[in-house]
Amino acid sequence: MRKFLVVMDESPEFLNALRFAAIRAKKTGGGVEILGIIAPEEFQHWIGVGEAMRQEARERIEAHFEIFAKWMRDNENIDPELVIREGEKATEVLAQIEADPEVGVLVLGAGASGEGPGPLVSQLVARHSGTLSVPITVVPGGLTKERIYEIS
């Protein structure tokens, strides 16, 4: 089964990317894999509490995932998978694509602020798009829910 890989963060553009991936997965018989990434700086401040901070970050990702997973199950009949990795975002996205041969499309949300598409989109598209083993779909941040349904 082909999976759409979406990188979860707290940005509004993530919601557009997730919505697009869920709708495309439903229409094409695919799946959705949500990648939560714990940045190294989240737990390197104090060595003694590093493991507790890592666990809190993991629990925060799992709680956010459950909210989005419920929406996908209820609205699109898609049961997404969660993968949690630790490290720098772009590096971990590339590593996950290589680790899971079922990933068929990377779906990223672009910022709508006019300050560019966002650091992850810029880094992956500019530096790695020519060497990736899957295509990248960039969902514009300014798209409405209705428009995403229309074009998906």
pTM: 0.90
- Residue pLDDT, tens place only, 5-48: 999 988 888 999 999 999 999 999 999 999 999 988 655 555 66
Virtual CA dihedral for 130, 101, 71, 138, nearest 10 degrees? 10
Total number of domains constituting the chain: 1
Q: Report pLDDT for 6.
A: 98
Q: What is the CATH number of the domain that holds 47?
A: 3.40.50.620
Give the containing element (helix H, strand E) for 148.
helix 145-151
- Residue pLDDT, tens place only, 99-108: 999 999 999 9
Question: What confidence category does residue 62 fall into, taking pLDDT thresholds of 50, 70 and 90?
Answer: very high
- Residue pLDDT, tens place only, 84-137: 999 999 999 999 999 999 999 999 998 876 666 777 777 777 776 678 899 999
Give the containing element (helix H, strand E) for 103.
strand 103-109
Range of the domain at 92: 3-151
User: Which amino acid is residue 59, in one-letter code?
Assistant: E
